[in-house]
Chains A and B, each alone.
Chain A
Amino acid sequence: MFYKFIQTIDRFRPFLKAKAHCDVPCGIYDPITAQINALTAVRMMDLMNGLAEGDEKSRVDFHNSISRYIAVKEEHAEKAKHEIRVIWGDFIKDAHVEKYPELPALVHKIMQFGSKSRQTADRDAGLAFVDAINQFAEIFWAIKDIKIKRAKAPYAPALEMVYPDL
């Protein structure tokens, strides 16, 4: 309860942060976290659009649900961006960029689609966000020399995702 209260204040007026970070690389990097977060943003867009098509827009419940969907969309789109930035900053090395010169533009694109997914409920922006992160995942697994497979996520919005084929 108290945590929730502090967290709410933090959302509106962020507190300072202190890192308890791991410097010895733990080596645990996986774009799936970003992929799932981007997928969640699209799911929230779908829920918002579904609700907006209903007839109960004047009800308090409607506003409550929409507010919650927006909050989750914001949070998850930002988390997806964060996860990509971590892999970009901590895992990707110059040699990888030399081998995959499209990487910097791709990461930049992910940041932009992520922002658009936060700013709007534009499903196309959300789809582009997921797609760009899938492309990033494809390169990530190629760098690790791990085969990939494409399959639909086993939950709504059931978009095609890139998974390592282990």
Chain B
Amino acid sequence: MLKIIKVTGNSLSPFFLPGDYVLVSSYRPGYKKLHAGTVVVFQHTEFGRLIKRVHTNFPGTENMKVAGSHANSISSHKLDLIPYADLIGKVIFHIKQPRTSD
């Protein structure tokens, strides 16, 4: 299933800016692991619905580490491991707002 989701916050800047939209394809348990660098949307118990990049898959488990690209992003350490079960989906298309430099 596909969903359009709006990005808020700066943690993935300068690639994804607040106000951009992403097309997200639902991720179902049992699918193959996502590659590092894939941008994913997931539900976090403390921080709510987040968008981050996959950093690494945690060996031998159904968990991954995620990270932003901005220096002030929530650290992957603070986010802890993200279970694949909490994934809402992966970003397959980025709808950018007009950039001032464009």
Show the binding face of A for B, using Cβ within 8 Å: 2-3, 6-7, 10, 14-26
Show the binding face of B for A, using Cβ within 8 Å: 3-13, 16, 18, 21-22, 41, 47-52, 68, 70, 72-75, 78, 88, 95-98
- Please report the C-alpha to C-alpha distance between residue A6 and residue B95 in the assembled complex, in whole angstroms: 8
Q: Are A3 and B11 in contact (CB under 8 A)?
A: no
Q: Are B5 and A21 in contact (CB under 8 A)?
A: no
Residues of chain A contacted by B5 (CB below 8 angstroms): 15-18
- Please report the C-alpha to C-alpha distance between residue A19 and residue B98 in the assembled complex, in whole angstroms: 20
Q: Are B78 and A10 in contact (CB under 8 A)?
A: no
Residues of chain B contacted by A7 (CB below 8 angstroms): 21, 97
Nearest A-chain residue to B24, judged by Cβ: A18
Residues of chain B contacted by A2 (CB below 8 angstroms): 95
Measured between C-beta atoms, what is the minimum distance from A88 to chain B in Å? 17
Known A15-B6, A20-B18; 13 more pairs at CB < 8 Å: A3-B21, A16-B5, A17-B6, A17-B7, A17-B49, A18-B6, A18-B50, A19-B50, A20-B7, A20-B68, A21-B11, A22-B74, A23-B75
The 7 A-B residue pairs with the shortest CB-CB distance in the complex, in nearest-first order:
A21-B9, A23-B74, A22-B72, A18-B51, A20-B11, A20-B9, A20-B12
- Please report the C-alpha to C-alpha distance between residue A106 and residue B12 in the assembled complex, in whole angstroms: 34
Q: Are A22 and B10 in contact (CB under 8 A)?
A: yes
Residues of chain B contacted by A15 (CB below 8 angstroms): 3-6, 21
